[in-house]
Structure 1
């Protein structure tokens, strides 16, 4: 009979440390749990119930994951448990994974998915509460749980008070990007505050509460470099142990931001690359750095054993990297025009190319401010390569396309070229779609701002056309290099940093502030937020900050983030949907008889073909899931948490866009499904498309340079003579230097690498994330889709008629291949923006 008066449970947790001294006065009461009823008939004074304690806590000597038993007194009047309160009286925090009760009268097995760090109770103003894996809309929540549901959200929102947040705080709040500069260090490290203004709009980031700088009360102070990993993010948003181990190499490599000044201080300068063979040594044995003073200096700041681990060398050959896929099969195929064009559809930059709808291309820049910025490309430049078509006929037949990096860059070009190490151009590239489905470049226009004191108020432009021989071919290769260097930053870095990393962070903050863990949309979106706040915080500390690695290794230098703010002015949430993006760029048109309701104007467009299958699989999963919980539009409209989530997301998280008419109102199931599909697509597949191709294509700098240090050589100059006599050396002296190359590849290697604990699209790291069987079945069906899509991708890559899938470099397109193993694979779609 006594057995029936007990509920026995198993608690799985990870202990960080064992207590140094066991406090005998606690008498085995280090960790206390009390149940909260989910039964509406339960009286207020009966919930939470009587305390129960983890058994054998003090006697356990195991660090790491452990299971503990807990036994509760049972009273039938209490009803079914729906949550529990936990108090940690130990001196160390622990990671609570799950709690499971077996044989609960009337309900059988009850499971709690916790996955949260629990600190000693003196760190909290309120007890920690965990709910079962049941899913409730706010209006359907059992009455005894409503108070705790609302209280938990209030805790996560914080009290709004100014003050530095600590690792045990669980506060999700917003702040501008006002912590990138460091004006207290030097005025040259002062940067514009991004967000909160018409001129420099930006998504909000997670607040840290660090005090303002002394020089500028509107700017947030920064942690010292070596403390960067201690920047505040809510503890449960931090990387897991495996991910942190993988990430440490990135942190240590970032020490190179100090090497530039150190090189000058000790009188050492890295060698220039004299030939492409010198560049290849980076992947075939390493580059010698014979300067003993430099090597000695590096060894002082980085322990030798760590150097060996990071660089996989004994320091004799100091910098050595895995060979990029773009040169594995053929070391020179990247130079071909076909590969140059193919990578606009299937490389690291597949999301900017658009159909040309007017000729010559016109600028949208204000001519009163910038002069005449319209293109100087004429029909004479291109008509001889249009397979007998006129320009008008080629446009009519959807044969002309453009890669346009003119208007976005021109307003900053004079500043970039005069105040940084960069010498570069704004560019337009016109391409022609051949009958075999490939693109061929027809003309490249390189433009500079009007002369400051000149008579003409128009861009200074020159048009280059393809050539296969002599110095004209060398000039053409340089013209393509100027285009690809802009593409590398403007497309992949802009897409990755702004359109995935930055725009997703406000969704994460708003979700935690307004959607309870019991809410179906919280459960739907949670896997797609993993590690994003943490990687973004680290990025602001050591990558995109003033004087950080991005400034050292990409051409806009100190203007990079400011330029991304200007680009954000054109960000439109509904257009982040892949079908809408393709239509906006003129790459597809509506067609109800075509797969996905779209007809691609370039049928062999790998990103679009594979991406649309991923998009459709996500959309179906989201629809099946939402239809289970929302039987009508009225339920969506009346969901209080959903309403407050979407309101704050629009008005605060993306507050600089709050008055835009394109925001969904979130009153119908379609609006909910469309919005959640976009969020999942951006966090998973879009990020994969623009991020994990970086190492395969961009870690070989001649293919995707990030910096140009010289302008195009003019005939009659020594630079032109060198281009005639030694074109490879002249090319390499124009693009990234050796030091910048090493730093740049180090960054790209880490950003392109999957961690060993990554979770990919269609998978979850928790199997019992809900107790509702229909959503679990729908997710199982969604989880079967990646394997089907992978088979199709492999088949397409083997189809020799699809020439854009592999190309001259023999690199199959796998960026939309859903799964991957860890490392540099060039494939795999993680659930979230996790690197």
Structure 2
């Protein structure tokens, strides 16, 4: 705390400081492509630090002299009105080339402030940019303040010309205060900065603003382009609830006033955008370029010029990773000018379409076809948290009977018991041996609409048996489609059983494909997009609107928000938008976001933490004698076993941190900023669920610890588990098809004959076609990669400067060491061949929850945030 500082600094004394600025973006996208304008705006809406900064640094002696002004603000002395005294303007001086704190791509400047005893101890500063272009302010460090020492100001913010702002740009020292403990001279500045970030809820946002506000998902369609691109507003109603997104304030579309118009530029608060020396600029620009330029070209080439829209054999699919698709020179020349084509596809002469081999086939190219691998991926694949224990038989439905009829499963004991080794259904349920992968209720309401398009599919239920060796065995698959007369008549269902030989074995294999198509769609729309990306965004908005940068919970959560609003805005532009990648290549088509809205109705924040999730799904039971307070019923459950270790480490770190700043439960209730933050998350950010009784009341430390742990878990480990395995598993489209185009053939039909004569061709004609497969591979590879400067769990971009409090710093170091120990434990588990579910028939160890990673396509690593 600041206290008693009179006469600490002699009148007229100069206080030396060092200002760090970011140089021109290291990626230099302007140089890599010619797709930029003079202001540094990449076509398509991505902002980077343009040539401005380099020019500034090269000519600092003539330009910087009186172009950037700083004024210190006292944390201990007031100006008579209660506000901290503001010092005189001071300007940058000489360039500093070598100092210990200088990071890659940064440039340092000396600065000297006039600061006397009447001014006290600095606690904040104003910065004023008098130039035309922006620059990235990294930090300010004040040295040798008498009887106080060094003060660090961590900034990491873009600074535009001062005339662009309605209020002055202010930054605070790395002190941490609850609102009631804020030094009196800083209270006004703390409150005013939050008002600035909240804005007034009006107007269209522009690039340099930092305003955080909410809106509905009304920007997915483009009705002004054509009627088929119109999409309903998602969120704001009981029928289609959804989390809120960041508000941009763009004008309504002409043909649908409820929808927002779209354009190349999309607003996000300036400091949420890529461009802070981040190689994800490069990665995400590839994604955008691939989505908007490369994919349409590929579709045209494959369909029209190669005249070969289908894969003809599994070998042809595998050739994508071996020799690639050979393209004639004239076609290759059409692809080459597309930005980043060579980065997306490794080209070798005319072998343009060559992808890295997915891990799932790197050791064994056919093991993915086994029933064991099919079931193993339910607990060790890219969507490992859907499987549930079967606690009643037959499985029931929660769908409204008046609307959808009786959706009780038609699977019987006679279907299952012959393959259960003498165990009865009752015994299996009593001994926790039966499990279900249930993709029935989430898709059935949309089946009639989906099947009216070129996509044909079923709602699915898969019954799984836990064997004595710990592996899972599929017993039956139920495929259900709407009754031909009406939904209210209930589904038409058929049950398929495992067969190892003949045409019926091929039919069983097709049935498994429909299960995987549903799983891949649910994964992408719900497990990945909705349950990580979309649900976190309202927390980011509320944090910035109500928790000051000096608030301890803001500091705790900040690393776990990095780049999420940016990647979400990109997703609304090219991934989940009308006719975007998800609609084009996955099962749901134009109804995709509606399907995720239907699932969001049952989303419960308090159940998103791993222990609660495992208990809810019945795959674990409470056990006080176990290390994590629960016992897994599938002991060799890689996602759960590894995840519980990560969860416990996160919770311990959060617990130590929260208890340091909040000495009692009363302090939680009395924290005005925290209460405003939580109230807005519940009532606005997730406002469609505001009447749910399960929300934390935020009345004690236990609730705050659990809420922060859940949020960090979602943004880090959960996202890692469902994201970075996308290409390793789904890059082999045969293993995880994303679409189905025809139903199971009936005996006596031409399609049935095709299955018996040429199963591979029949399978390929049923699942994702070549065009969509190439699109999927292109996008999944980008989404599964780590950037070179990614920040992983247990790391912070600011080093040790994010707080001046010693005990939280020490606790964070312990957290990092604990994660390193966990990683070694996970490596040991993967070396234990008795744990068959950890590597399976494909010999692919479960590495998705290893905390660390290198750059690239690694199938491991837990970034702090949802950054891709």
Normalising by the smaller structure, the TM-score range is over 0.9
Relative to structure 1, the CA distance from residue 63 to residue 627 in structure 2 (aligned partners, 3 Å threshold; closer, same or farther) is closer
Q: In the alignment, what sits opposite 1:802?
A: 835
Please report how far the alpha carbon of residue 209 of structure 1 lies from its aligned counterpart in structure 2 after TM superposition. Answer: 1.6
1:594 & 1:335 partners in 2: Cα distance?
36
Q: Is the 8 A contact 1:270 1:289 kept in 2?
A: no
Q: In the alignment, what sits opposite 1:170?
A: 210
Tell me which moved more, 258-267 or 556-565. Answer: 258-267
Q: In the alignment, what sits opposite 1:446?
A: 479
Please report how far the alpha carbon of residue 111 of structure 1 lies from its aligned counterpart in structure 2 after TM superposition. Answer: 0.7
Q: Is the 8 A contact 2:546 2:677 kept in 1?
A: yes
Please report how far the alpha carbon of residue 726 of structure 1 lies from its aligned counterpart in structure 2 after TM superposition. Answer: 1.1
**Equivalent of residue 403 in structure 1, options 419, 437, 443:** 437
Q: Is the 8 A contact 2:19 2:111 kept in 1?
A: yes
Q: In the alignment, what sits opposite 1:150?
A: 191
Please report how far the alpha carbon of residue 696 of structure 1 lies from its aligned counterpart in structure 2 after TM superposition. Answer: 0.9
1:46 & 1:385 partners in 2: Cα distance?
77
Indicate the SS of the match to 1:608.
helix
Please report how far the alpha carbon of residue 235 of structure 1 lies from its aligned counterpart in structure 2 after TM superposition. Answer: 1.3
Q: In the alignment, what sits opposite 2:492?
A: 460
Relative to structure 1, the CA distance from residue 591 to residue 2 in structure 2 (aligned partners, 3 Å threshold; closer, same or farther) is closer
Please report how far the alpha carbon of residue 48 of structure 1 lies from its aligned counterpart in structure 2 after TM superposition. Answer: 0.7
Q: In the alignment, what sits opposite 1:140?
A: 181
2:58 & 2:360 partners in 1: Cα distance?
58
Q: In the alignment, what sits opposite 2:446?
A: 412
Please report how far the alpha carbon of residue 298 of structure 1 lies from its aligned counterpart in structure 2 after TM superposition. Answer: 4.0
Q: How far does the alpha carbon of each residue in 1:447-472 deviate from its partner, in whole angstroms, 9 at most, with x for none? A: 10111269x92311111111111111
Indicate the SS of the match to 2:223.
coil
**Equivalent of residue 696 in structure 2, options 637, 643, 664:** 664
Please report how far the alpha carbon of residue 28 of structure 1 lies from its aligned counterpart in structure 2 after TM superposition. Answer: 2.3
Please report how far the alpha carbon of residue 66 of structure 1 lies from its aligned counterpart in structure 2 after TM superposition. Answer: 1.0
**Equivalent of residue 847 in structure 2, options 814, 818, 830:** 814
Residue 250 in structure 1 maps to residue 287 in structure 2: yes
**Equivalent of residue 20 in structure 2, options 5, 12, 24:** 12
Q: Is the 8 A contact 1:531 1:833 kept in 2?
A: yes
**Equivalent of residue 520 in structure 1, options 535, 549, 552:** 552
Please report how far the alpha carbon of residue 83 of structure 1 lies from its aligned counterpart in structure 2 after TM superposition. Answer: 0.4
Relative to structure 1, the CA distance from residue 59 to residue 110 in structure 2 (aligned partners, 3 Å threshold; closer, same or farther) is closer
Residue 588 in structure 1 maps to residue 620 in structure 2: yes
**Equivalent of residue 500 in structure 1, options 505, 509, 532:** 532
Please report how far the alpha carbon of residue 263 of structure 1 lies from its aligned counterpart in structure 2 after TM superposition. Answer: 5.9
Q: In the alignment, what sits opposite 1:491?
A: 523
Q: In the alignment, what sits opposite 1:369?
A: 403
Please report how far the alpha carbon of residue 99 of structure 1 lies from its aligned counterpart in structure 2 after TM superposition. Answer: 0.7
Q: In the alignment, what sits opposite 1:47?
A: 85
Indicate the SS of the match to 2:592.
helix
Q: Is the 8 A contact 1:308 1:314 kept in 2?
A: no
Indicate the SS of the match to 2:452.
helix
Residue 620 in structure 1 maps to residue 652 in structure 2: yes
Residue 274 in structure 1 maps to residue 278 in structure 2: no
2:241 & 2:732 partners in 1: Cα distance?
34
Relative to structure 1, the CA distance from residue 602 to residue 170 in structure 2 (aligned partners, 3 Å threshold; closer, same or farther) is same
Q: In the alignment, what sits opposite 2:752?
A: 720
1:796 & 1:46 partners in 2: Cα distance?
57
Please report how far the alpha carbon of residue 122 of structure 1 lies from its aligned counterpart in structure 2 after TM superposition. Answer: 1.2
Q: Is the 8 A contact 1:424 1:482 kept in 2?
A: yes
Q: How far does the alpha carbon of each residue in 1:384-426 deviate from its partner, in whole angstroms, 9 at most, with x for none? A: 111211101110111000000011111100100112x211111
Residue 674 in structure 1 maps to residue 711 in structure 2: no
Indicate the SS of the match to 1:82.
strand
Q: In the alignment, what sits opposite 2:326?
A: 288
Q: How far does the alpha carbon of each residue in 1:69-88 deviate from its partner, in whole angstroms, 9 at most, with x for none? A: 11011211211100011111
Q: Is the 8 A contact 1:42 1:77 kept in 2?
A: no
**Equivalent of residue 533 in structure 1, options 565, 574, 577:** 565
Q: In the alignment, what sits opposite 2:71?
A: 34
Q: In the alignment, what sits opposite 2:670?
A: 638
Residue 777 in structure 1 maps to residue 810 in structure 2: yes
Q: Which runs of 5+ in 2 are unaligned?
A: 1-8, 25-51
Q: How far does the alpha carbon of each residue in 1:782-809 deviate from its partner, in whole angstroms, 9 at most, with x for none? A: 1111111111111111112211001000
Indicate the SS of the match to 1:283.
helix
**Equivalent of residue 588 in structure 2, options 556, 559, 565:** 556
Residue 834 in structure 1 maps to residue 834 in structure 2: no
Q: Is the 8 A contact 1:257 1:552 kept in 2?
A: no
Q: In the alignment, what sits opposite 2:363?
A: 329
Please report how far the alpha carbon of residue 667 of structure 1 lies from its aligned counterpart in structure 2 after TM superposition. Answer: 1.1
Q: In the alignment, what sits opposite 2:32?
A: none
1:51 & 1:291 partners in 2: Cα distance?
62
Residue 234 in structure 1 maps to residue 234 in structure 2: no
2:11 & 2:21 partners in 1: Cα distance?
26
Q: In the alignment, what sits opposite 2:261?
A: 221
Q: Is the 8 A contact 2:56 2:63 kept in 1?
A: no
Please report how far the alpha carbon of residue 370 of structure 1 lies from its aligned counterpart in structure 2 after TM superposition. Answer: 1.1
Indicate the SS of the match to 2:782.
helix
Q: How far does the alpha carbon of each residue in 1:337-378 deviate from its partner, in whole angstroms, 9 at most, with x for none? A: 111010001011101000001111111112221122111111
Q: Is the 8 A contact 1:168 1:235 kept in 2?
A: yes
2:163 & 2:131 partners in 1: Cα distance?
10
2:168 & 2:618 partners in 1: Cα distance?
55
**Equivalent of residue 127 in structure 1, options 154, 168, 171:** 168
Please report how far the alpha carbon of residue 91 of structure 1 lies from its aligned counterpart in structure 2 after TM superposition. Answer: 2.1
Relative to structure 1, the CA distance from residue 154 to residue 706 in structure 2 (aligned partners, 3 Å threshold; closer, same or farther) is same
Please report how far the alpha carbon of residue 309 of structure 1 lies from its aligned counterpart in structure 2 after TM superposition. Answer: 3.0
Q: Is the 8 A contact 1:268 1:291 kept in 2?
A: no
1:25 & 1:580 partners in 2: Cα distance?
61
Q: In the alignment, what sits opposite 2:344?
A: 310
Please report how far the alpha carbon of residue 296 of structure 1 lies from its aligned counterpart in structure 2 after TM superposition. Answer: 5.7
1:269 & 1:566 partners in 2: Cα distance?
39
TM-score (ref. length: structure 2)? 0.92
Q: Is the 8 A contact 2:849 2:860 kept in 1?
A: yes
Indicate the SS of the match to 1:558.
helix
Please report how far the alpha carbon of residue 257 of structure 1 lies from its aligned counterpart in structure 2 after TM superposition. Answer: 5.1
1:250 & 1:819 partners in 2: Cα distance?
24
Q: In the alignment, what sits opposite 1:604?
A: 636
Q: In the alignment, what sits opposite 2:221?
A: 181
Tell me which moved more, 109-118 or 363-372. Answer: 363-372
1:46 & 1:653 partners in 2: Cα distance?
34
Q: Is the 8 A contact 2:526 2:596 kept in 1?
A: yes
2:726 & 2:302 partners in 1: Cα distance?
30
Q: How far does the alpha carbon of each residue in 1:257-301 deviate from its partner, in whole angstroms, 9 at most, with x for none? A: 534885699666443111111001111121134595x6565456x
Please report how far the alpha carbon of residue 42 of structure 1 lies from its aligned counterpart in structure 2 after TM superposition. Answer: 6.2
Q: In the alignment, what sits opposite 2:46?
A: none
Q: Is the 8 A contact 2:210 2:269 kept in 1?
A: yes
1:20 & 1:111 partners in 2: Cα distance?
23
2:620 & 2:57 partners in 1: Cα distance?
65
Q: In the alignment, what sits opposite 2:31?
A: none
Q: Is the 8 A contact 1:416 1:557 kept in 2?
A: yes
Q: In the alignment, what sits opposite 1:115?
A: 156
Relative to structure 1, the CA distance from residue 422 to residue 295 in structure 2 (aligned partners, 3 Å threshold; closer, same or farther) is farther
Q: Is the 8 A contact 1:611 1:816 kept in 2?
A: yes
Residue 428 in structure 1 maps to residue 436 in structure 2: no
Indicate the SS of the match to 2:855.
coil
2:259 & 2:160 partners in 1: Cα distance?
31
Q: Which runs of 5+ in 1 are unaligned?
A: none
Q: Is the 8 A contact 2:21 2:138 kept in 1?
A: yes
